Structure 1
Amino acid sequence: MSKETNTKEALVKAAYSDVNKFASNQEYDKAVKAVNRILGVAPDDQTALHCKVVCLMQLSKFDEAHKFIEKNRMNGTLIFEKAYCEYRLNKQLQALKTIDEAGMQPLPDKLKELRTQVLYRLEKYEECLEAYKDIIKNSSDEYEDERRTNLSAVAANLALDPNKDVPDVPEDTYEQYFNSACIQSNRQKFVEAERKLRSSEKLCREFLEEEGASEEEIIEELDVIRVQLAFCLQQQGKTKEAGIIYADCLRHKPKDAALVAVASNNAVVINKDQNVFDSKKKIRAAMADVCEAKLTSRQKQIIALNNCLLALYTNASDQVQQLSQKLVQSYPKIEFEALLIRCSQLAKDHKHKDAIEQLQKFAAAHKTHEFVTKFAIIQLQLLQGNRKDAIETLLSLGEAKYKPGIVSALVTLYLGTDNKPAASAVLKTAVDWYKQNNVSSGDLSDMWRQAAEFHLRGGASETAASSLEELLKLKPNDMKVLAQLVIAYAQFNPKRALEISRKLPKLETLTTASEIDALEAANWVMSAKAAKKTAANAKVEASPGTPAAEKKKSAHRKRKGKLPKNYNAEVAPDPERWLPKYERTGFRKKRGGARAKDIIKGSQGMASGAADQYDMSNRVNLNKNSPATPVYQEPTPGPRQQHRKGGHKKKKGGRF
């Protein structure tokens, strides 16, 4: 053996030793370098090639590992590694093809489990469920709980279809509790789902604390449960509480892209047409590329639809048209929803005619949506104020026009156009149709009652009697209906009216003698409250031997009016006692030396010259020889003339 060969073998041996050491310490970067040393001297060493692929996968360099497998033509030997790289690169169809074309029957356990995971990502839940059942049945190791958890996750997705049976899932771990709650929420049982989620949250914290997890790790795991809990609360109408949970989870900045997308989308739904700026920010986070691979097709469809609705709320006309068309291309199943959004924007832009044309074309091409589409057309026609076209559209619904709600709408529209005969004809036609076809469509009592009352008011007694007969079949013990039927027959068939009237209860069975006496004793001139009190008192009878109580005299006595302290009955009251002081004869008021005539006021309409007749200074003789100038003495104020100091303002509710 040559020296060169010995040196090569020693190098390879030392390199393998390093690879083993670094892999044991999870130092895969150093392990890759050690493998490269081996491949430098032995490029065809299959073990070294395999080691490098595994190290790259451990470093999450799946694209590089996949290319390395294809470059070195190891497609036939490293099937699991190649399929796993494709699975992690979100190339699910390619991964399934790699496994199925390997031709290995039966598949090794690891390939079987990988294939089941690929089926789950491809949303082939029924096939995935059967695969998991087979794996759980034919394996027994430490991963049994994980397999059962995955089985419950598959069952949760199957529960979205109400027609599919869902197997019973265990509830041993917090993950299984979580998946069981998802099954309940997908079955619209949100109260039960909330209860299970709260149990899952409690178990999760207890388990992770026992495992020694940090608070950050616990919060990251709890956020998944809490976002699902918020969804259940939101579906129950507790939007405020749900919004708080979404905001709290997003504030933690979770690493799970799917969690961010779901929480952001649901927060946008809560905002609706409010907080538009915040909604735009959140919808961008929900539609990020990093979320694409983590979400199911149903979740991506809902987020795209909400993005289109948000554009409608912001009245971005061009954006609505673009997004709705893109929505149809990506998700043809929701073409009708996209059309409604587009037509709603056209209606906002007052382009009702264009919206109606688009809806009519869609209704003609899609018979399954014709009924709902025509109602959208009717709504637009009514927005235009075009009642006649709305009536024609309703009449074009075929036998559906006999449904109680549609009959009611037609009657209302006919009455709105002052066409009472047409409204009566609609009700009569509906009554005849139900009688001829013996159709039972829920509780039709309201329709029969409205039809009967309408025809009774219109004088169509025979039609009213037919409606009342049908109503009596639904409510045979309704005496009001029976009485109305007697009234209806009395107008055209007195014999039948007399026959039916015998079924009415007698007056004695409806009232008692005491009630009749009370009604006769009541004074109808009195108020209803007083009459009720009188009737109640009439029922009370004094027991024998008890002397009748004498009527008490009223304790209230009329109080005498109070007089002022300086009141003098011998002096006649001042005739001007009701006039304000400034309007009384001889009133003088000094204000900065001005005389009274400068501030005399008069009633409205009085000429300014009339103030001189009230100026007493012009009538007094000021000569020295004249008798003493009479001094004007203000009379004693009467009982209603005493005012408080501070003016003559009238107080609200007081006296003056």
Structure 2
Amino acid sequence: MAGANKNVSLSGLYGDLNKHGANGDYDRALKVCNRRKPLKPWHFLSGHVLTCFIVIVAVLHEFPDEEKAFQCKLVCLIQTSKFQEAIQALGKSQKFSGEFPFEKAYCQYRLNQPKEALDTIDSAGSLDQKLKELKAQVLYRLEDYEACFDVYRDLIKSNADDFEDERETNLAAVVANLSIEGTKRDLPTLRESTYELLYNSACRLLGTGQVLEAEKKLKQSEKMCRESLEEEGSTEEDIEDELSIVKVQLAFCLHKMGREKEAQVIYNRALKQKPDDIALVAITSNNLAVLNREGNLFDSKKRLKSATVDGLEHKLTQRQRRAIAVNQCLLAALTGQAEQCAAMCDKVAKQYASTKEELVLVRATALARDGKVADAGKLLNDESKQAPKRRLELQLAAVQMHLAEGDTKAACDILKNMGDSTFSPGIVSALVTLYLASSDRKSASTVLKDAVEWYRKNKTGSQSSLSMLWRKAADFHLRGGEPQVAARSLEELLKINPSDMKTLAQLVIAYAQFDPKKAQELSKKLPPVGELAQDTDIDALETSSWVMGTKVMKKVTAKVEASPMTGENLLRKKRRKRPGKLPKNYIAGATPDPERWLPRYERSGYKKKKDRRVKEQLKGSQGTAYGASEQFDMSARVPAAKSSPQTPATPDQGPRSYQKKQTKKKKGKGGKW
């Protein structure tokens, strides 16, 4: 009878909890589970989103060792997002602490503990499909894209169900990240049947630097996304919210192509929609701050503040977080906060070791803006010794800072002490230019001599760069009166291209200045003059302006005019020169008017016209002007002592000579001069 009563009570609880599970009322089901032990078989539909359906739940204290009952309690906790309580329940249970690896790993994954979740999955031994799905998601969160790619590839090969498109979309995201990281493995070509797959394909193209192709894919993805959502009956707000990530990525493509104004419009439009995705807001704000550069630092500060809110460490990749952190340091340097910039750089360098050399440039920029150029140069020089891979970059940055301050000597000293890099064509050219700008031709000549000797001993570098170096050095030394040094450069140049007659001719000229016998021997290798001048017009060459000066040109043209006239020359001589036009009233032999070049109003016989704006004075009946009675009315006159001078309405000398006298007022409280 006792067993029968237990079965009856168990059946009743099954019915109650099945009703709660079917209605999705997991809170009430959890209350029942807390009263008694649960019994629940359940099913997982995908590894990304945990979906479980409660079929039957039995909760009784009389069944403490019921495995499925405990599993049902974990499902209820997961469905109500009480992940920490689920882990605690597993920890408190003596029997089931090592059981249910999927539930435990999923709770750890949702609590942003991917490393612990991966350890839990690996401890499970053999992995079924749901554990493989979850492991792929955990590896993606850990940014272990190589291992994640292998897991997804096995899942796609071994499973064919309704979630095939979702798996392939996730695989496309993994492939895109591998392309960005520059993987060497062969990546498969995936389908582009959905807008998500098109979006990931565009990201993959961006990773390989194919920006134009990525732009086309993103536009196709945007169009396909809108069409598919409109068919589903989504609202315009939902469509724009879904399209926001595609549009921001499209703006990034435009940003990379230099179309910054178009990118800025899209970025601002995306932020005005106020998306719920904090990762999207952070990336958009960071990119807008990059577009501002040094123009609007206040706006950049506000943007980067939006890019560093809480919770982003689990939403952004390490690459994205590193870029935002470096931009924060750079903003502190641009705003003149040298001490704060140094502290931020130290913090970021400890967190992201790969940014150490990059942050050195940021700290040097902050010091230079603070007026400490010498300290900035010393910092770059010290760091260049510890980072041999970026030594050249750091040293050139120090050179740029010294040149910006006008310290040419310090810049040249750094360029001369760069080891073998000093003899690269670019550095040699920079040194020669700087020395010539400082009127130090001797040092420039020494630099070229050392470069020639170094390349003669080491024989490294491409032929094109070496040819250019030998040529420039030879020309420089020939102009500077050093034919022996020039001959060495020309000999090396002739070894590269023995058939170059121009180089051979220059070498003959150089040897002619200090070794005539050698010059004569080399001149025999030159082709005869007849072969060189076979297709040359001597007359045109003699009359060309770039060969002879202006005086010689006049003599040559005179000879040409004095030559026998035939054809066009004869016609030119017959043409007569027309006499110039004379005035209509011209009298031959008359003396010209000496005032003929003066303006009419400055000539002596010029009569001024009457100003119509001045009214004529009307005369009265007795011959006196109207108003003259007031002039002769002595009673109406004011005494001279009380009279005051009047300011003229217009100045006598014209508006340019008239200047109003300004008196300085005393500066009072809150006033101006």
TM-score range, shorter chain: 0.7 to 0.9
| Structure 1 residue identity aligned to 2:349 | V
Runs of 5+ unmatched residues, structure 1: 594-648, 650-656
Residue 253 (structure 1) aligned with residue 286 (structure 2): no
| Structure 2 residue identity aligned to 1:20 | G
Moved more, 160-169 or 43-52: 43-52
Distance 1:251-1:556 versus aligned 2 partners, 3 A rule: farther
- The match for 1:81 is 103
- Asked whether the 8 Å contact 1:152–1:169 carries over to 2, the reply is no
- Asked whether the 8 Å contact 1:15–1:38 carries over to 2, the reply is no
Aligned residue among 165, 176, 201 for 2:185: 165
Distance 1:310-1:574 versus aligned 2 partners, 3 A rule: closer
Aligned residue among 459, 463, 467 for 1:445: 467
Name the SS for the 1:165 alignment partner.
coil
Mapping 1:439-478, distance limit 5 Å? 439-441=460-462, 443-474=465-496
Name the SS for the 1:289 alignment partner.
coil
1:131-170 Cα shifts (integer Å, max 9, x gaps): 2222222222222222222222112111233352241231
Aligned residue among 55, 60, 82 for 1:42: 60
* 2-structure distance, mates of 1:581, 1:88: 96
Q: CA deviation at 1:233?
A: 1.8
* 1-structure distance, mates of 2:221, 2:72: 40
* 2-structure distance, mates of 1:61, 1:234: 43
Aligned residue among 210, 221, 226 for 2:242: 221
1:507-555 Cα shifts (integer Å, max 9, x gaps): 66666779444456789869999x99x99xx9xx989xxxx98999679
Q: CA deviation at 1:112?
A: 1.1
* 2-structure distance, mates of 1:156, 1:576: 88
- The match for 1:178 is 199
Q: CA deviation at 1:504?
A: 5.1
Aligned residue among 350, 354, 368 for 1:329: 350
Aligned residue among 159, 164, 172 for 1:139: 159
- The match for 2:135 is 115
- Asked whether the 8 Å contact 1:75–1:82 carries over to 2, the reply is no
* 1-structure distance, mates of 2:492, 2:483: 14
* 1-structure distance, mates of 2:323, 2:99: 42
1:291-319 Cα shifts (integer Å, max 9, x gaps): 22111111100110011111222222332
* 2-structure distance, mates of 1:371, 1:572: 82
Q: CA deviation at 1:434?
A: 1.0
- The match for 1:349 is 370
- The match for 1:151 is 171
| Structure 2 residue identity aligned to 1:89 | L
Distance 1:383-1:583 versus aligned 2 partners, 3 A rule: closer
- The match for 1:620 is none
Mapping 1:135-534, distance limit 5 Å? 135-162=155-182, 164-173=184-193, 174-382=195-403, 386-416=407-437, 418-441=439-462, 443-474=465-496, 479-501=501-523, 515-518=537-540
Q: CA deviation at 1:12?
A: 1.4
- The match for 2:14 is 13
1:41-81 Cα shifts (integer Å, max 9, x gaps): 73556545434433443344434444444455644333212
| Structure 2 residue identity aligned to 1:151 | L
- Asked whether the 8 Å contact 1:159–1:183 carries over to 2, the reply is yes
Q: CA deviation at 1:257?
A: 2.1
* 2-structure distance, mates of 1:588, 1:390: 72
Name the SS for the 2:311 alignment partner.
helix
Moved more, 39-48 or 311-320: 39-48
* 1-structure distance, mates of 2:252, 2:8: 66
Q: CA deviation at 1:14?
A: 3.7
Distance 1:16-1:589 versus aligned 2 partners, 3 A rule: closer
- Asked whether the 8 Å contact 1:169–1:180 carries over to 2, the reply is no
Moved more, 554-563 or 184-193: 554-563
TM-score by length of 1: 0.76
Distance 1:425-1:573 versus aligned 2 partners, 3 A rule: closer
Name the SS for the 1:159 alignment partner.
helix
* 2-structure distance, mates of 1:528, 1:521: 7
Distance 1:572-1:422 versus aligned 2 partners, 3 A rule: closer
- Asked whether the 8 Å contact 2:101–2:120 carries over to 1, the reply is yes
Q: CA deviation at 1:415?
A: 3.8
Q: CA deviation at 1:93?
A: 0.5
1:352-386 Cα shifts (integer Å, max 9, x gaps): 33333433433344444433333334444445655
Mapping 1:599-610, distance limit 5 Å? none
| Structure 2 residue identity aligned to 1:267 | L
Distance 1:421-1:209 versus aligned 2 partners, 3 A rule: same
* 1-structure distance, mates of 2:438, 2:75: 80
Distance 1:17-1:472 versus aligned 2 partners, 3 A rule: same
Q: CA deviation at 1:576?
A: 8.6
* 2-structure distance, mates of 1:582, 1:234: 66
Q: CA deviation at 1:427?
A: 1.2
Mapping 1:569-588, distance limit 5 Å? none
- Asked whether the 8 Å contact 1:268–1:282 carries over to 2, the reply is yes
* 2-structure distance, mates of 1:493, 1:462: 9
- Asked whether the 8 Å contact 1:356–1:380 carries over to 2, the reply is yes
Moved more, 34-43 or 237-246: 34-43
Q: CA deviation at 1:461?
A: 1.0
- The match for 1:605 is none
Q: CA deviation at 1:110?
A: 0.3
Fraction of identical pairs, as percent:
44
| Structure 1 residue identity aligned to 2:105 | A
Name the SS for the 1:444 alignment partner.
helix
- Asked whether the 8 Å contact 2:448–2:473 carries over to 1, the reply is yes
Distance 1:587-1:30 versus aligned 2 partners, 3 A rule: same
- The match for 1:597 is none
Q: CA deviation at 1:243?
A: 1.4
Distance 1:521-1:256 versus aligned 2 partners, 3 A rule: closer
* 1-structure distance, mates of 2:367, 2:532: 61
Distance 1:189-1:476 versus aligned 2 partners, 3 A rule: farther
* 1-structure distance, mates of 2:353, 2:426: 31
Name the SS for the 1:372 alignment partner.
helix
Mapping 1:502-651, distance limit 5 Å? 515-518=537-540, 558-563=580-585
1:361-413 Cα shifts (integer Å, max 9, x gaps): 33344444433333334444445655444444333322222111222233334
The alignment's C-alpha RMSD in Å is 4.2
Distance 1:559-1:373 versus aligned 2 partners, 3 A rule: closer
* 2-structure distance, mates of 1:574, 1:228: 82
Distance 1:579-1:333 versus aligned 2 partners, 3 A rule: closer
Q: CA deviation at 1:588?
A: 12
Moved more, 88-97 or 357-366: 357-366
Distance 1:255-1:464 versus aligned 2 partners, 3 A rule: same
| Structure 2 residue identity aligned to 1:121 | R
* 2-structure distance, mates of 1:206, 1:483: 73
| Structure 2 residue identity aligned to 1:456 | L
* 2-structure distance, mates of 1:146, 1:127: 18
* 2-structure distance, mates of 1:579, 1:399: 75
- Asked whether the 8 Å contact 1:155–1:166 carries over to 2, the reply is no
